[in-house]
Amino acid sequence: MARSKTYPRDVRERAVALVFEQVKTGQYGSQWEAICSVAAKVGASSETLRKWVRQAEVDAGARPGSTSEESAELKRLRRENSELRRANEILKAASAFFARELDPRLPNS
């Protein structure tokens, strides 16, 4: 099973900028050729660099999709929603417990 490798942000940004520069200057026949070349130099897989390039295009508005900022916000909101659901369940259980304890009709246990 392959382990994912985390690359520093500056390495990702420089690799993507290099791909865009090489495509712009016409050094390679296609963007994929530029990606393969830069990926070998950076030590990342071509597919990884291709994903970085696609996300950079989305962030720049050149390609449709959700931006990195939108994805991060969605992730944060999902995490917050999960925490609130957990807290709500705890409060429901506590209120049910105390309601039973304080109900004079029920025998104390």
**Helix, coil or strand: residue 56:** helix
Q: Can you give the pTM of this predicted structure? A: 0.69
Whether the per-residue pLDDT at 53 is higher than 70: the answer is yes
Predicted confidence at residue 99, as pLDDT, reads 86
Mean pLDDT across 56-73: 93
Whether the per-residue pLDDT at 1 is higher than 60: the answer is no
Cα–Cα dist 30/19, whole Å:
10
Kindly state the DSSP code that residue 43 receives in the 8-state scheme: T
Residues 6+ apart with CB under 8 A from 49: 15, 16, 19, 35, 38, 39, 42
